[in-house]
């Protein structure tokens, strides 16, 4: 997601109005149908368009497809002789977002992997959900055994989810969470606000989650999943984040004693600038 609310879902005012009307209107007709339809909006967001520089960056990688059940996950690899690092983007984004970080990692010799989340970028099949994203991340991590994982927003949530739920899966030595919501409910609150949805629609969406995953929103807690990780951590969060409240980052830092909290101001949810890069590279250079 980017800084501004309408950019967060890659939609203009007219499209936002249409989605709002559709979902709120459907709720008056059928609560269950509105929940299913809202899930589709969430699980299959508009595919973010690549900028020219992002496309150039991705074109320098080795490309492959990782098959997981019905999913076809697009994987990008920039070979290097240094430690292996895995990059995981957020919701409504794609691997091109790492263009601001990847070239410097290459210069330092890191062996870099990135991948497009389910239903994002060039990945095909499946729906987007923390569970599916974590499944794809774990599968790739088991194959390449990264020493470091950097996750932005939902990418950070997926990382903590898989590390919490599968203790025998590949585990990095370091984990960075960039603008990662402390709770899925925080993201859902922003989703509701951005789209202007009625509370009843969100209730119906949660019932659809329960039907599909047997879990309420409250189960998906980065705060809970990050406890006991026992690895070096970095939490970067912006004071003005309109998607994931900064208070959540402070809570994460309290429950994850090995993590360093670094705050920015004015970057919004994207946290992409020279200061954020400096925090990341200083952390990577530390023991």
Is residue 29 very low, low, confident or very high in pLDDT (cuts 50, 70, 90)?
confident
pLDDT beyond 70 at 6: no
Query: Does pLDDT of 260 surpass 80?
Result: yes
3-state secondary structure of 174: strand
Higher pLDDT, 1 or 108: 108
On whether the CB atoms of residues 258 and 229 are closer than 8 A, the answer is: yes
Do 96 and 65 share a domain, yes or no? Answer: yes
Q: Name the domain boundary from 161, 195, 219.
A: 219
Give me the residues paired with residue 66 across strands.
73
Mean pLDDT, rounded, for 13-19? 59
How many percent of the chain have pLDDT more than 90? 76
Number of neighbours of residue 229 by Cβ within 10 angstroms: 20
9 vs 190, higher pLDDT: 190
- Name the domain boundary from 219, 239, 273: 219
| Alpha carbon distance 128, 115 (integer Å) | 13
- Range with the lowest mean pLDDT among 100-104, 123-127, 178-182, 208-212? 123-127
Residues 113 and 251 in one domain: yes
* pLDDT at residue 17 in the model: 66
Asked whether residue 166 falls in the same domain as residue 193, the answer is no
Q: DSSP for 99-166? A: GGTHHHHHHTT-EEEEEPPTTSTT-BSS---HHHHHHHHHHHHHHH--SEEEEETHHHHHHHHHHHH-
User: Taking residues 90-119, what's their average pLDDT?
Assistant: 96
Quick: pLDDT tens for 108-166. Answer: 999 999 999 999 999 998 889 999 999 999 999 999 999 999 999 999 999 999 999 99
Domain that holds residue 42: 1-46+184-219
pLDDT at 3: 35
Amino acid 156: pLDDT? 97
Residues 205 and 245 in one domain: no
Q: What is the mean pLDDT of the chain?
A: 91
Does residue 21 surpass a pLDDT of 90?
A: no
- Predicted model pTM: 0.91
Q: Are 235 and 215 found together in one domain?
A: no
Domain count, the chain: 2
Per-residue pLDDT, averaged over 8-37, amounts to: 71
Verify that 71 and 101 share a domain, yes or no: yes
Question: Do 29 and 158 reside in the same domain of the chain?
Answer: no
For CA atoms 99, 82, 67, 162, give the dihedral sign.
negative
Question: Has residue 32 got a pLDDT over 70?
Answer: yes
**What's the CA gap between 238 and 244, in Å, rounded?**
9
Instruction: Lowest mean pLDDT of 27-36, 91-100, 202-211, name the range.
Output: 27-36
Q: Specify whether 121 is located in the same domain as 163.
A: yes
Share of the chain above pLDDT 70, in %: 94
pLDDT tens-digit series, residues 201-226 = 999 999 999 999 999 999 999 999 99
> Stretch 268-282: mean pLDDT, rounded?
93
| 10 or 180, higher pLDDT | 180
């Amino acid at each position: 997601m980017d800084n501004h609310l309408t950019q967060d879902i890659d939609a203009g005012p007219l499209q936002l109005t249409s989605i709002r009307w559709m979902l709120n209107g459907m709720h008056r007709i059928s609560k269950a149908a509105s929940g299913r339809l809202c899930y589709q909006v969430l699980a299959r967001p508009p595919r973010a368009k690549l900028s020219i520089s992002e496309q150039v960056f991705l074109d320098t990688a080795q490309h492959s497809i990782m098959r997981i059940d019905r999913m076809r996950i697009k994987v990008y690899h920039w070979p290097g002789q240094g430690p292996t690092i895995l990059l995981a983007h957020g919701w409504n984004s794609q691997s091109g977002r790492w263009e601001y970080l990847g070239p410097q990692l290459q210069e330092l010799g890191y062996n870099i992997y990135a991948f497009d989340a389910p239903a994002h970028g060039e990945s095909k099949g499946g729906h987007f959900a923390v569970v599916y994203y974590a499944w794809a991340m774990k599968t790739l991590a088991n194959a390449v055994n990264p020493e470091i994982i950097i996750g932005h927003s939902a990418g950070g949530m997926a990382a903590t989810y898989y590390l919490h739920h599968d203790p025998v899966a590949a585990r990095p030595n370091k984990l960075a969470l960039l603008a990662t919501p402390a709770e899925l409910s925080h993201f859902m609150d922003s989703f509701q606000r951005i789209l202007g949805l009625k509370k009843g629609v969100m209730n119906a969406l949660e019932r659809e989650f329960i039907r599909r995953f047997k879990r309420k929103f409250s189960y998906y807690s980065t705060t809970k999943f990050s406890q006991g990780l026992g690895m070096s951590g970095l939490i970067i969060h912006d004071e003005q984040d309109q998607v994931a409240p900064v208070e959540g980052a402070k809570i994460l830092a309290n429950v994850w004693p090995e993590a360093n909290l670094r705050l920015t101001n004015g970057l919004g949810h994207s946290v992409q600038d020279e200061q954020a890069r400096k925090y990341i590279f200083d952390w990577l250079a530390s023991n």
